[in-house]
Amino acid sequence: MDPRTRKTKNLLLNGLFTLLKDKSIQDITVTALCKQAEVNRRTFYLHYDNIIEVFDDFESDLSLRVSNTLNAPSTTEANLVQTFDQIFDENLAGFKSLCMNHRQQLLLQHLDDMLFNVLLSSHSNHPNSQDIITMHYVSSGIVNVYIYWVNHQESFSRSELSKTFSKLVHENFSH
């Protein structure tokens, strides 16, 4: 991706996450986002048709990163947890915006659905009911524990979160 395009998309995404602290995505206008991101409306429309596409683009990037990690020949549970931690750390401000504003449940559900689909497709080409149930359990658990941690950071450290995730991922993917 062209560095200017990447910069513009990052500005828009960061602007979106800033606005999501106080508004639902349905209440955010292109004008407000462009003002927050300091991006011209014409530039916005070169890349996106609407606000939802900014979040969809973010979601697609996350999906690709998780999928690439899962499908790498030398993937271990540690690599997978490390990828989750890296994505979470790189996007902490955005995740906080999503998790702390209860009006963002739809966006969090989209992330959960994306993670479920990536996990399921990398786990099996012909998933059975046990695979589907397990991957729903894992994806929902991962998303909801990160949400819990954002809202209750004093309860346990990030390193405890990572260690526990490593253990759970190992238990659910080593069979």
Q: Say how far apart CA 169 and CA 175 lie, in whole Å.
A: 11
Q: What is the pLDDT along the chain (175 residues), one digit of tens a residue?
A: 789 999 999 999 999 989 988 888 889 999 999 999 999 999 999 999 999 999 889 888 887 887 787 777 766 667 777 888 888 888 887 777 777 666 567 777 888 888 888 888 877 788 899 989 988 988 898 888 888 888 888 888 888 988 888 887 777 665 4
Residue type at 169 in one-letter notation: V
Q: Say how far apart CA 164 and CA 170 lie, in whole Å.
A: 10
What would the pLDDT profile of 29-48 be if each residue is shown by its tens digit?
Answer: 999 999 999 999 999 999 99
Nearest Cα to 110, choosing from 45, 60, 164? 60
Q: How far apart are the first and last CA of the chain?
A: 38
What would the pLDDT profile of 114-143 be if each residue is shown by its tens digit?
Answer: 888 888 887 778 889 998 998 898 889 888
Helix (H, G, I), strand (E, B) or coil at 154: coil
Phi-psi region of 38 (alpha: psi -120 to 50; beta: other; left: phi over 0): left
Nearest Cα to 99, choosing from 138, 150, 60? 150
Q: Say how far apart CA 21 and CA 157 lie, in whole Å.
A: 23
